[in-house]
Amino acid sequence: MKKCFCGADKPFSACCGPIIKGHKADSAEKLMRSRYSAYVTHAIDYLIETTHPSKRLGLDRKEIEEWAKTNVWQKLEIVSSGEYVVEFKAHFKDRNGRNQLHLEKPRFIFEKWDLSYQDCECVV
């Protein structure tokens, strides 16, 4: 069976796919996983929609799109997962083919039953 881009043991169509299509993630980890898969599948609107409105202003759609498309996403590693905080490592190759590691410990918040990415405490 093909794994989802996020590394879960189920296909994209039964994992992050439906969440990106509009079925809300019900946990911070699922939201985080779906955001990673959104980078892989270039679902830029989803990345913007799942960012908390208070942080959306600073987002640059073109920049997010560039970042999603120029990198080759290889693997997502969940380091620890809590109710509102998920620490993860994203492995990818940059435009020069160099291996890169992105470490992040983002915070998520529930608002009006919507879970969104609030901000991150970047580890590196």
Binder to Zn ion among 2, 3, 4, 61 (CB under 5 A)? 4
Q: What is the footprint of Zn ion within residues 11-30 (CB under 5 A)?
A: 15-16
Integer Cα distance of 70 and 119 in angstroms: 23
Query: Residues binding Zn ion: what is the number (CB under 5 A)?
Result: 6
6 lies in the binding site for Zn ion (CB under 5 A): yes
Element (H, E) at 122: strand 114-122
Q: What is the footprint of Zn ion within residues 31-70 (CB under 5 A)?
A: 33
Closest CA to 35 of 124, 98, 120, 123: 120
Binder to Zn ion among 2, 8, 40, 81 (CB under 5 A)? 8
